[in-house]
Chain A
Amino acid sequence: MIPVRFIAADLRRLWAGSLVIVLLIGLATALGIAVGIQERALRLGSARAADRFDLVVGAAGAETQLVLSSVFLQAAPLTLLPGSVLKDLAEDPRVDWAAPVGFGDSFNDLPIVGTTGEFLTDKGRRPLAEGEAFQKPTDAVVGALVDLRLGDTVKPVHGLPGEAGHTHDELAYTVTGRLAATGTPWDRAILVPIETVWSIHGLDGHTADAHDHDHDHGHDHAHEDHDHDHDHDGVQDHAAEDHLGPPWAAGIPGVPAVIVKPKSIANAYQLRQQYRTDTTLGVFPAEVLTRLYATLGDARVILTAIAIGTQALVGAAVVLVCVVHLSQRRRQIGALRALGAPRLSIFGVVWVELLLLIGLGVLLGLGLGLLGAKVAASFFTQQSGIALPVSLEWSDVGFAGMLMLVAAVIALVPAWLAYRQPAAAALRG
């Protein structure tokens, strides 16, 4: 028999040491759990964020950069794609819709992205949360998490978020709509008609020749060079008389990337192939993410190895503490034996006590790991806008169970030492 009251009294008596052991085990477990949860959340979150983006076409260059900039709105210089590519894609019968994305301005550290109404509503399939899509060149639709209300005014600042730049005093957008939440960086973006972005940067197809732009609006973002002279004296008037979105006229300006919604999977593959040329690059964001995940997987292996190493170290420390503690309890164990306690019961007492501490530690670790992953995810979401679906899965519980199992086996060592102690020798101390 293993007297429960005795174990409870023992743990109560040694509460400080027990607490330290539980905390040590809890923290070591939390590390492993948090790594697993975080990595999975990152995969899911980024996959969901890329879900709407079947195919992205940009100028030839780095695939990962193209996806990071266009899908995840990570500020980075992208070479411009000729406007004719956008026009061709929009008119391609295999394409449902093709929307440009143009960067260059920001407001309160939120990126202002030029695009089309088709992109906002997935060509009418995805209604806005409130308000309406672009009707005028100065209309803006904000992401779900942008702290602006309908009717608010947005004065764009030249430059990407975090970069210093001058305010485009010549133009103010008015918020006319809000996107439904997507859990993506687009929730923190301000979307405006691409025509206005072209126009404000002097790239308007109709006006480009009339203006003397001495700065590079090629969106390689040489924004340090702000010696340009904007002369958009008629932006609002001029834009108001134009229609927004496709069909595109010949000679439209270039864009950093085009988001393409192919009509079918076969079309998607054909288009991707067709736009993998010397000057253009067609990528499936999912494909790029898969490669990123492989890298992420490698990082996870390393982090998991570190976590396991930490757990092993903590395990060794716990065993050491137990063995030292056991030597201090020799006389108590000897007395129990003298009073007739069976050796197996002594074994059980030591093993169950350790198992309880380990169990509590692992449970604490599960909670702490989940909490840590949630905190880390919220920081990540704050930085990137990508919502990470942090949740405890059966695999995490399985990992904790495996830890328990290993710990239970290791705990046999001190229990066995207690079992083997000769009663008389133990009583002598």
Chain B
Amino acid sequence: MAGLSLSGVRVEFPGLAAPVLDIAALAVARGEDVAVTGPSGSGKTTLINVMTGLEKPAAGSVRWDDTDLVRLGESQRDAWRAGHVGLVMQEFHLFPGLSAIENVLLPVRFRLFSVPAATRERALALLKRVGLSRPDQDIATMSRGEMQRVAVARALLGRPAVLIADEPTASLDAASGAVVADLLIELAREENATLIAVTHDPRLSGRLGRRLSLVAGRIAEDVAQGEGAAPSSATPYTPPAASQGQVTP
């Protein structure tokens, strides 16, 4: 399967002379796990916004398998994202007043009149899997680490093909960050989902198979790492044969 393929993507913001994102070509194969790193303002969040259809680039194409997100309308992109992407954000974006289980089920409630029993069962199982034993606990009474674990469970509820995390450990203490990093990697593998994580956290980025470094909106480095690859040495990246993607360093 082709996975993700970006081609000639440019994102410009009004008032800024240079594009905030300028990717000639990028391919991510299905099932890959990729860390996106780079200094603040390098375009990391914009890149994942483009990948998830939250941001429509001024030029280029963003293809997930046979679907070019650029050609879809906003509502279609919303629907596509709901069906294919699990999102974990730095600030969790859980909703106070709702319990852990209700937060996990919230995206489904926006799309279905009533939640199927199987979905509810899966939500409970996911909460248990991320180590939360009280699904009815109010979010307001949880620690930040617990909140992020709820967010991970929420992201995985719809069995997404791709799990995208934007600085998932940045606002957590070291212990909680390590737990969340472990969970993301393990669950993405268990669910056979592509994992793309924007992170400054070496405990997370170092454990992913590929690292993209962005500088000023461009890919400055794209290296394979992990088992067999020395974390400190940048290895020129060769995309999996299936993707046939062109990678621009």
A1-B113 CB under 8 A given contacts A338-B54, A342-B78, A424-B54: yes
Chain B: minimal CB distance from A16 (Å): 14
Contacts of B82 in A (CB 8 A): 339-342
Complex interface: stretch among B104-112, B127-135, B201-209 = B104-112
Contact residues, B82-111 vs A (CB, 8 A): 82-83, 85, 87, 89, 91, 93, 95-98, 102, 106-107, 109-111
Give me the interface of B with A, judged by CB distance under 8 Å: 46, 49, 52, 54-55, 74-75, 78-79, 81-83, 85, 87, 89, 91, 93, 95-98, 102, 106-107, 109-113, 154, 158
Q: A126: CB under 8 A from chain B? A: no
B98: which of A6, A331, A342 is its contact (CB, 8 Å)? A6
Q: How far is the CA of A221 from the CA of B74 in the complex (A)?
A: 84
A62 within 8 A of B: no
A343 in contact with B74 (CB, 8 Å): yes
Query: Out of B54, B79, B110, which one reaches A423, CB within 8 Å?
Result: B54
Scoring A residues 325 to 369 as 1 if CB is less than 8 Å from chain B, else 0, what string do you get? 000000110011111111111000000000000000000000000
Q: Would you call B79 and A342 a contact (CB within 8 A)?
A: yes
Picked from A1, A5, A332, A344, the residue with its CB within 8 Å of the CB of B93 is: A332
How many A-B Cβ pairs are below 8 Å? 85
For the complex, what is the distance from the CA of A332 to the CA of B98, rounded to whole Å?
14
Instruction: Look across to chain B and name the residue whose beta carbon is closest to the beta carbon of A2.
Output: B110
Q: Which of A388-429 contact B (CB under 8 A)?
A: 422-424, 427
- Contact present for B78 and A337 (CB under 8 Å): yes
* Cβ B113 vs Cβ A9 within 8 A: no
Closest chain-A Cβ to B124's Cβ sits at a distance in Å of 17
Whether B102 and A5, one on each chain, are in contact in the complex, defined by CB atoms closer than 8 angstroms, is: yes
In the complex, how many angstroms separate the beta carbon of A325 from the nearest chain B beta carbon? 15
A9 vs B85: C-alpha distance when bound (angstroms): 26
The distance in angstroms between the C-alpha atoms of A1 and B93, with both chains bound, is: 20
A3 CA to B98 CA, complexed, in Å = 12
Residue A125 interfacial (CB < 8 Å): no
Extra 9 A-B pairs, beta carbons < 8 Å, given A3-B106, A338-B87, A338-B93: A1-B112, A3-B110, A5-B98, A6-B98, A9-B98, A335-B89, A338-B89, A341-B111, A343-B74
Q: What's the minimum C-beta distance from B11 to chain A, rounded to whole angstroms?
A: 9
Most buried by B among A12, A337, A339, A427: A339
B54 touches A341 (CB 8 A): no
Contacts of B154 in A (CB 8 A): 339
Cβ contact of B81, chosen from A1, A332, A338, cutoff 8 A: A338
A-B complex: 5 closest residue pairs judged by Cβ atoms? A340-B82, A9-B97, A335-B93, A3-B109, A341-B110
Which residues of A come within 8 Å of B, CB atoms?
Answer: 1, 3, 5-6, 8-10, 12-13, 331-332, 335-345, 422-424, 427
Q: How far is the CB of B42 from chain A (nearest CB, A)?
A: 15
Contact, CB under 8 Å: B79 / A10: no
Q: Give the CA-CA distance A1 to B79 in the complex, in Å.
A: 13
Q: Which residues of B have CB within 8 Å of A332?
A: 93, 95
Q: A348 CA to B168 CA in the complex, in Å?
A: 30
Interface of A is mostly: helix
Contact assessment for A342 and B75 in the assembled complex, using a CB-CB cutoff below 8 Å? yes
Which chain B positions have C-beta within 8 A of A422? Answer: 74
Contacts of A5 in B (CB 8 A): 98, 102, 109
Q: Is the CB of B93 within 8 A of A339?
A: yes
A340 touches B95 (CB 8 A): no
B79 pairs with A12, CB closer than 8 A: no
- Give bound CA distance, A331 to B166, whole Å: 15
In the complex, what residues of A have CB within 8 A of residue B110's CB? 1, 3, 336, 339-342, 345
CA distance A343 to B75 in the complex (A): 7
State the CA gap A335–B90 with chains docked (Å).
Answer: 11
B78 contacts which of A3, A10, A341 (Cβ < 8 Å)?
A341
Minimum Cβ distance to chain A for residue B91 (Å): 8
Residues of B contacting A427 with CB < 8 Å?
A: 49, 54, 89
User: Complex formed: what's the CA distance from A191 to B89 in Å?
Assistant: 85
Minimum Cβ distance to chain B for residue A394 (Å):
35
Q: Whole-angstrom distance between the alpha carbons of A340 and B80 in the complex?
A: 8
| A429 CB to nearest chain B CB (Å) | 10
A342 to B55, CA, bound (A): 15
Give the residue of B52, B83, B111, B112 whose beta carbon is less than 8 angstroms from that of A338.
Answer: B52
Once the chains bind, are B98 and A424 in contact (CB under 8 Å)? no
**Contact present for B95 and A6 (CB under 8 Å):** yes
What is the CB-to-nearest-CB distance from B242 to chain A, in angstroms, rounded to a whole number?
Answer: 27
Of A6, A9, A337, A345, the residue contacting B54 (CB under 8 A) is: A337
Instruction: Say how far B105's CB is from chain A's closest CB, in angstroms.
Output: 9
Whether the pair A341, B107 counts as a contact (CB closer than 8 A) is yes
Q: Chain A nearest CB: distance from B64 CB in Å?
A: 14
Cβ–Cβ < 8 Å partners of A343 in chain B: 74-75, 78
Residue among B52, B93, B102 facing the most chain A CB atoms (10 A cut-off): B93
Question: Chain A CB within 10 Å — which of B46, B75, B82, B110 has the most?
Answer: B110
- Residues in A with CB closer than 8 Å to B111 are 1, 340-342
